[in-house]
Amino acid sequence: MLYILILLFLILNGFPSISDIDPGLLAIISGLASTALAFATSGIFSNFIAGLLLWVVDPIDIGDVVKIKSYKGVIKSITLMKVVIETLDRIIVEISNSEVVSSKIINYTIKLTTRKRFNKFKQQILSPQDRGIARLDIDFYDDSLKVQEDYELRELFKNVVDHNLSEVYSYNFILRVDYKKFRIKINKLKKICNKYKENFGYTPRFHILNFGYEISLKFRILTLDSNNILNYQAEFAKELAKVILNQD
């Protein structure tokens, strides 16, 4: 604060030559200036080093769907100083690289290691619930739905191969549903998911995580363009919520 007052004084009264400044005052000014410069450059330097670390480790790329700190969204740019995210509610957020490096990063994007065989692709894409490891089955998940899922996965695989893509963008969220009229709501939720295939390019799926008086459903979106998640996820979740809250 003191160096700011001194600077204002010099601006109002003119800058004297170095030889005219009292040696004691000159020492104070130079000390304050060097301290301020050290604080400024330390932040710049730490962000620069963090940017280099992000470049080497490469945990995120432009277009990835991520959660950094409390922000969920799509990465729009990465520089040596900051990461810019567009959140799911369409807000642009800038996060310094030093904050990114020190935060827990969740990257929902699926980085494909191979695109040569459908079965390998399927293993990379499917969630544990899809593979039957953690699925809580009830009778609405029937053979016809399994056939439909397999057909759509093959369509997705064909698009990935045809366009030589190396990522599939994913996003998960959980909604809670009351047990009352649960079966009726399930049918309505399935219709909404089918409706949004056109928006995402692949029908969103949901799984039952727990089944009691209150039921948790995990919804999963897959798409080949992360901007589809920005454009349609909020609208999709809002329609689901209306059914769950009996507002449809």
Same domain? For 132 and 88 the reply is no
Q: What's 85's domain CATH number?
A: 2.30.30.60
Same domain? For 223 and 121 the reply is yes
Q: What's 136's domain CATH number?
A: 3.30.300
pLDDT of residue 141: 56
pLDDT of residue 142: 61
Same domain? For 83 and 102 the reply is yes
Same domain? For 42 and 148 the reply is no
Same domain? For 52 and 154 the reply is no
pLDDT of residue 60: 83
Same domain? For 12 and 83 the reply is yes
Q: Per DSSP, what are the bridge partners of residue 210? A: 216
Burial 41-50 (b: 16+ CB within 10 A, else e): eeeeebbbeb
Q: Is residue 65 a contact partner of residue 57, using CB atoms and an 8 Å limit?
A: no
Residue type for 18, please?
I
Same domain? For 101 and 174 the reply is no
* Domain end point (choices 77, 107, 137): 107
* Domain end point (choices 61, 88, 107): 107
First vs last C-alpha separation in the chain: 58
pLDDT of residue 177: 87
Q: Is residue 204 a contact partner of residue 220, using CB atoms and an 8 Å limit?
A: yes
Same domain? For 72 and 146 the reply is no
Question: Number of structural domains, the chain?
Answer: 2
Q: How many residues does the chain have?
A: 248
Same domain? For 149 and 54 the reply is no
Same domain? For 103 and 142 the reply is no
* Domain end point (choices 73, 88, 107): 107
Phi, psi dihedral angles at 70 (to 5 degrees): -105, 10
pLDDT of residue 209: 80
Same domain? For 80 and 131 the reply is no
pLDDT of residue 87: 94
Task: Provide the domain limits for residue 164.
Answer: 110-244
Same domain? For 144 and 81 the reply is no
pLDDT of residue 103: 80
User: How far, in Å, CA of 113 to CA of 66, rounded?
Assistant: 19
Which residue ranges in the chain fall short of pLDDT 50? 1-5, 7-15, 17-19, 21, 26, 29, 36-41, 133-137, 139
pLDDT in tens, 37-71: 444 445 565 665 655 666 666 678 999 999 998 89
